């Protein structure tokens, strides 16, 4: 039954991604023109010489390197000038703001931005758009206007994670157990949504389970390991850890693996190699896998659409899929689990 559910989840994500990709292909067809020569010329004019900056959350992360690889591929396919950049750490909001300011100074045509804050970049985004620069936001929604948004419905994905956590702790006889929320950062709406969805999914399926604490590791792996280790030591009856990004997931896995015979269940977001290995080793019970390569590719496609005068989709959700020991080796999932990577310019 679990395998059937897994297969259905895989089909859903593949179909969602294909539909979204078709949006991109249609967009590309529009940009390059229609059936007559004048439309074709107009489309080519809309693309020729276009300059797009792609600013991700951090260049040292496997997840964001995959996004940059997607953007680079789209730039190659569309024949446009792409600059790939981002701060070294997701906590460096000031550096990300400076990068957007630099894009404005260089008068690029569009920016694809994975914002490190839902609010802190609002002013510079508004400044860019006032200067005529199109801004496509990916992953983390912001609270100001943009020209399009691409990102997972994190409330829904978080709910899947909460339901999976209930399944895992119930199998251990801990349906009323204690859960730690290990978080990468404060102030990111994407993480707030994941937690809200997780809490709702857990409550609906394991109403007696308790989320005892939220700890913020500032996207520091060693800090995440230390925090989870301390909580396990203080709570020998801890049932599970919900880790809301790749750093938190890897940190939780390392901490749990140090306790021989531990029954602590880990459910995490993302699919860094260390997380995938932890799933294969049975340390992480499930990961919620997104498609950062698609974020980057489609972000560039939509930016080019906007520059060419077309309206990109206002909100595009590529979906997410749960991956556990039962399906981590499935051939259909390998492109998601082992995407191409690019470290930036």
pLDDT in tens, 108-143: 999 999 999 999 999 999 999 999 999 999 999 999
pLDDT in tens, 59-76: 999 999 999 999 999 999
Domains in the chain: ranges and CATH: 2-151+295-318 (3.40.50.2300), 154-289 (3.40.50.2300)
What is the residue-wise DSSP string for 38-75? HHHHHHHHHHTT-EEEEE-S-TTSHHHHHHHHHHHHHH
Average pLDDT (290-319) is: 96
What whole-number distance in Å separates Cα of residue 109 and Cα of residue 96?
Answer: 18
User: Is the pLDDT at 23 greater than 80, yes or no?
Assistant: no
pLDDT at 344: 84
User: Cα dist. 222→130, 252, 254 in Å?
Assistant: 41, 10, 10
What whole-number distance in Å separates Cα of residue 166 and Cα of residue 169?
Answer: 5
Output the pTM of the full model: 0.81
pLDDT at 16: 37
What whole-number distance in Å separates Cα of residue 245 and Cα of residue 285?
Answer: 15
User: Is the pLDDT at 249 greater than 50, yes or no?
Assistant: yes
């Amino acid at each position: 039954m679990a395998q059937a559910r897994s297969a259905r989840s895989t089909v859903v994500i593949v179909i969602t991604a294909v539909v979204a990709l078709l949006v991109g292909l249609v967009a590309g067809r529009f940009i390059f023109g229609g059936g007559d020569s004048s439309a074709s010329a107009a489309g080519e004019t809309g693309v020729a010489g276009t300059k797009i900056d792609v600013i991700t959350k951090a260049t040292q992360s496997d997840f964001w390197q995959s996004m940059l690889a997607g953007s680079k591929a789209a730039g190659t396919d569309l024949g446009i000038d792409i600059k790939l950049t981002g701060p070294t750490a997701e906590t460096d909001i000031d550096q990300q703001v400076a990068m957007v300011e630099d894009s404005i100074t260089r008068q690029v045509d569009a920016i694809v931005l994975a914002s490190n804050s839902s609010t802190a970049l609002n002013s510079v985004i508004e400044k860019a758009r006032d200067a005529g620069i199109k801004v496509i936001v990916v992953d983390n929604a912001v609270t100001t206007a943009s020209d399009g948004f691409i990102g997972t419905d994190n409330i829904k994905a978080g709910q899947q994670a909460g339901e999976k956590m209930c399944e895992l702790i119930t199998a251990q006889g801990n349906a009323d157990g204690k859960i730690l929320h290990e978080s990468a950062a404060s102030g990111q709406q994407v993480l707030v949504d994941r937690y809200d969805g997780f809490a709702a999914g857990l409550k609906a399926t394991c109403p007696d389970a308790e989320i005892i604490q939220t700890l913020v590791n500032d996207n520091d792996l060693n800090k995440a390991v230390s925090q989870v280790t301390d909580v396990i030591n203080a709570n020998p009856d801890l049932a599970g850890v919900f880790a809301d990004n790749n750093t938190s997931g890897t940190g939780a896995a390392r901490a749990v693996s140090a306790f021989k015979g531990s029954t602590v269940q880990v459910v995490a977001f993302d699919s860094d190699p260390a997380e995938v290995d932890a799933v294969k080793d049975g340390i992480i019970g499930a990961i919620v896998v997104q498609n950062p390569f698609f974020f980057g590719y489609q972000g560039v496609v939509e930016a080019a659409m906007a520059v060419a005068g077309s309206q990109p989709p206002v909100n595009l959700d590529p979906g997410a899929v749960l991956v556990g020991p039962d399906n981590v080796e499935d051939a259909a999932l390998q492109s998601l689990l082992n995407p191409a990577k690019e470290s930036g310019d």
